[in-house]
Structure formats: structure tokens, C-alpha cells
């Protein structure tokens, strides 16, 4: 298994971490407040009950429990197919991404918008749904690309997964569970965790025969 942009992931790790730190500092200094408020007001003013209900269902299906079940299914399939490189990378990537998300949430303690879903707990930044959607998409693409070599099918799968990520993030903003800056931050975070996962995976491969 080869990481995407394998030759450049060291540079990507450095650049993405630098951009993420600047992003967090800008967030703490309120630079994104106007942008967040504009999108927040827009979702309140133009709320459509049908779209809202679909967004709620989508958020529930791919929440923490749903994502865990899907990820577990992908891991079991990789294990059954003896795709050990993809399996180890998926575990490293997921652990690093989710761990960093939880650490940042409870370190920065940024509050959610006022109209978030009843019963929802936890802090807002970065978007856990955003991180999970990208992690699931990457792991599923690893699984599919290890089985399918047809470029047209791979491109179609890639498009569907990108659409799934976009809808997941849009849904969280639309139902008022996250600010726009939360989902943007989650993208930057996953880019960093992906590149670091590639570094750790290469270190693992050099020490253990996979």
C-alpha cells in the first residue's frame, strides 16, 4: 500500500500543521466570528423542514455509533481479506484523527451554536462528524482500491465519497450543531493526521514485515 502523495507527505505534514495552528489562533482571536454568524443566520432564516429532517437523520446515521459500526465493518473486511497494510494504516489514521479531535475539543472548549440538536453534548471545534466522515471515506477507498483496479470505478467511488463528506459537513452546519469554522478546521486536522499517519506507517513497515 502506498500513501497518496507519498513523496510529499513530510512537507504536507509541516504545512498542514502550520496552517492549522494559524487557523486555531485566528479562531481564538475571533477572526472567523463574522463568517460563522453569517452562515448561522442563513441556516436559521432559510430553514426548510424537509431538508432539516433529512439532515438530522443523516447526522444520526453517521454519528459516533454509526461511524464506529461502519469502521469496524471495514476493519473486519480488511482482516478477512488479509489486507494487512491497509488494516494497519486504517487503525493508525483513525486513532490519530479521533485522538487529536478529542484532545482539541476539550483543550479549546469552543461552544456550539445556540440552536444545536437537543441532547447533543460536547464542544464544537473541530467537528467530530467532519473528521469521522473523512476517516471513513479514506478507509473505504483503501478497501475498494485494494480490490478494484478499474480506473473509472475508482474515480466514481472517489466522487461518491467526496459527496458523502460534503453532505456530512453541510448537514452538521444546517442543523446548527457546528460552526463553519468547525468543519473547515476538521479538514485541516485530517490532512495533518493523514500525512503523519503515512510517516508512522512507513516507520512501521521498516521495522515489521507487512
Q: Would you state the pLDDT for residue 137?
A: 92
Domain ranges for the chain, please list them. Answer: 7-205
Backbone phi and psi for residue 160, each to the nearest 5 degrees, phi listed first: -60, -40
Task: Evaluate if residue 19 carries a pLDDT over 80.
Answer: yes
Grid coordinates given for 154: 475508482
More confident residue, 82 or 116: 82
Give the model confidence (pLDDT) of 156-197 as tens digits: 999 999 998 998 888 888 888 889 999 999 999 999 999 999
Q: Would you state the pLDDT for residue 115?
A: 61
| Alpha carbons 23 and 56: distance in angstroms, whole number | 28
Give the model confidence (pLDDT) of 84-123 as tens digits: 888 899 999 999 999 999 999 999 988 888 765 555 667 8
Three-state DSSP string of the chain: CCCCCHHHHHHHHHHHHHHHHHHHHHHHCCCCHHHHHHHHHHHHHCCCHHHHHHHHHHHHHCCHHHHHHHHHHHHHHHHHCCCHHHHHHHHHHHHHHHHHHHHHHHHHCCCCCCCCCCCCCCCCCCCHHHHHHHHHHHHHHHHHHHHCCCHHHHHHHHHHHHHHHHHHHHHHHHCCCCCHHHHHHHHHHHHHHHHHHHHHHHHHHHHCCC
Q: Give 54's pLDDT tier (boundaries 50, 70, 90).
A: confident
Give the position of cell 514485515: 209
- Predicted TM-score (pTM) of this structure: 0.88
Q: Would you state the pLDDT for residue 20?
A: 94
CATH architecture of the domain covering 7-205: Up-down Bundle (1.20)
Answer whether 19's CB lies under 8 Å from 107's CB: no
Q: Would you state the pLDDT for residue 67?
A: 82
| Alpha carbons 97 and 197: distance in angstroms, whole number | 9
Q: Would you state the pLDDT for residue 43?
A: 82
Task: Evaluate if residue 201 carries a pLDDT over 90.
Answer: no
How high does pLDDT run on average in the chain? 85
Q: Would you state the pLDDT for residue 92?
A: 93
Q: Would you state the pLDDT for residue 1?
A: 63
Q: Give 5's pLDDT tier (boundaries 50, 70, 90).
A: low
Task: Evaluate if residue 65 carries a pLDDT over 90.
Answer: no
Bond before 126 cis per omega within 30 degrees: yes
Q: Would you state the pLDDT for residue 159?
A: 94
Amino acid at each position: 500500500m502506498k500513501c497518496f502523495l507519498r513523496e510529499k507527505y513530510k512537507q504536507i505534514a509541516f504545512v498542514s500543521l502550520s496552517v492549522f495552528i494559524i487557523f486555531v489562533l485566528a479562531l481564538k482571536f475571533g477572526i472567523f466570528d463574522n463568517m460563522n454568524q453569517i452562515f448561522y443566520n442563513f441556516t436559521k432564516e432559510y430553514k426548510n423542514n424537509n431538508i432539516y429532517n433529512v439532515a438530522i437523520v443523516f447526522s444520526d446515521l453517521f454519528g459516533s455509533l454509526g461511524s464506529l459500526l461502519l469502521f469496524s465493518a471495514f476493519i473486519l473486511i480488511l482482516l478477512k481479506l488479509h489486507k494487512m497494510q491497509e488494516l494497519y494504516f486504517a487503525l493508525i489514521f483513525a486513532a490519530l484523527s479521533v485522538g487529536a479531535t478529542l484532545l482539541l475539543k476539550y483543550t479549546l472548549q469552543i461552544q456550539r451554536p445556540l440552536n444545536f440538536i437537543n441532547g447533543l453534548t460536547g464542544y464544537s471545534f473541530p467537528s467530530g462528524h467532519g473528521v469521522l466522515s473523512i476517516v471513513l471515506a479514506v478507509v473505504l477507498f483503501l478497501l475498494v482500491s485494494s480490490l478494484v483496479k478499474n480506473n473509472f470505478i475508482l474515480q466514481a467511488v472517489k466522487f461518491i465519497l467526496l459527496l458523502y463528506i460534503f453532505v456530512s459537513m453541510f448537514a452538521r452546519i444546517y442543523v446548527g450543531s457546528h460552526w463553519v469554522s468547525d468543519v473547515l478546521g476538521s479538514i485541516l486536522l485530517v490532512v495533518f493526521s493523514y500525512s503523519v499517519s503515512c510517516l508512522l506507517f512507513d516507520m512501521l513497515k521498516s521495522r515489521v514485515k507487512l
